Amino acid sequence: AQSVTQLDSHVSVSEGTPVLLRCNYSSSYSPSLFWYVQHPNKGLQLLLKYTSAATLVKGINGFEAEFKKSETSFHLTKPSAHMSDAAEYFCVVSTASPGGKLIFGQGTELSVKP
Amino acid sequence: EAEVAQSPRYKITEKSQAVAFWCDPISGHATLYWYRQILGQGPELLVQFQDESVVDDSQLPKDRFSAERLKGVDSTLKIQPAELGDSAMYLCASSPRGSRQARETQYFGPGTRLLVL
């Protein structure tokens, strides 16, 4: 069965400093992995996705993630945090079901201090 | 840019009452999903439709929840009777036809925040 574990429930950074949100996955096959962002009282927005092409995936708003099979990790990074990045971030894996069922992690809340 | 529409955005009801949520997916999207997101947790799939057919409703509490997508376009999720534990955000998502990669990418609506008193 597929699953994801987000290693930090809350991360706090200062504006202009790097962001690292950690995610480990478990999958019996080569997975599709995603990062979604959710701002307060809003729906989820796709940041980026990995689908077995390049292992370094670039997303929107300056975010990127690197797929490391040897470490079963898919960490999300950004070189310089902005106040508007404060939100909840979800690491997601797609199952092998025909409809592409998504399994969400518990989420990491990112706070950005001025 | 096309978006998934949901209504209402907020709903307050008393336990034992009936509530209904509506979702209009992005035009042409074949697959529609309903998720429940409890505060502080990630979303969990309740039901998945492919056109008008249910593909997966294994996590739907069928004694009180029902969902339909009669014409394969918009969808309604109903709870009757509502319980205190149903308080959550209910998210709708849709994905297009095509390759596996296309079908895996889900587009989410803004959600309906339900509070059961």
CB pair distance less than 8 Å for A42 and B110: yes
Q: In this predicted structure, what is the pLDDT of residue A98?
A: 62
Give the max Cα distance, chain A.
Answer: 45
Tell me, what amino acid is at A75?
H
What is the rounded CA–CA span in Å between residue B64 and residue B18? 9
> Which residues in chain B are closer than 8 Å to A51, comparing Cβ atoms?
101, 104
The full 3-state SS of B56-87, as one line of letters, equals ECCCCCCCCEEEECCCCCCEEEEECCCCHHHC
Prior bond of B8 cis (ω within 30°) = yes
The full 3-state SS of chain A, as one line of letters, equals CCEEEECCCEEEEECCCCEEECEEEECCCCCCEEEEEECCCCCEEEEEEECCCCCEEECHHHCEEEEECCCCEEEEEECCCCHHHCEEEEEEEECCCCCCCEEECCCEEEEEEC
Q: In this predicted structure, what is the pLDDT of residue A2?
A: 83
pLDDT score of B116 more than 80: yes
Task: Note the pLDDT tens digit of each residue in A5-63.
Answer: 999 999 999 999 999 999 999 987 778 899 999 998 778 999 999 987 788 999 999 99
Which residue among A34, A41, A107 places its CB closest to the CB of B113? A41
What's the average model confidence in pLDDT over A105-112? 96
pLDDT score of B90 more than 70: yes
Beta-carbon contacts of residue A72 (< 8 Å; ≥ 6 apart): A24, A25, A26, A27
Alpha helices (H) along chain B: 100-104
CB pair distance less than 8 Å for A99 and B113: no
Q: Could you tell me if A49 lies within 8 Å of chain B, comparing CB atoms? A: yes
Q: In this predicted structure, what is the pLDDT of residue A31?
A: 84
Q: Could you tell me if A77 lies within 8 Å of chain B, comparing CB atoms? A: no
What is the rounded CA–CA span in Å between residue B71 and residue B10? 26
CB pair distance less than 8 Å for B48 and A99: yes
Task: Note the pLDDT tens digit of each residue in B1-53.
Answer: 779 999 999 999 999 999 999 999 999 999 999 999 998 899 999 999 999 99
* Three-state DSSP class for residue B90: strand
Which residue among A36, A100, A101 places its CB closest to the CB of B100? A100
Tell me, what amino acid is at A93?
V
Which residue among B6, B104, B108 places its CB closest to the CB of A94? B104
Task: Note the pLDDT tens digit of each residue in A54-97.
Answer: 889 999 999 999 999 999 999 999 999 999 999 999 999 987 66
- Tell me, what DSSP letter sits at residue B112? E
* Three-state DSSP class for residue B40: coil
> Which residues in chain A are closer than 8 Å to B101, comparing Cβ atoms?
32, 51
What is the rounded CA–CA span in Å between residue B14 and residue B86? 11
What is the rounded CA–CA span in Å between residue B70 and residue A25? 36
Which residue among B45, B105, B109 places its CB closest to the CB of A43? B109
Beta-carbon contacts of residue B2 (< 8 Å; ≥ 6 apart): B26, B27
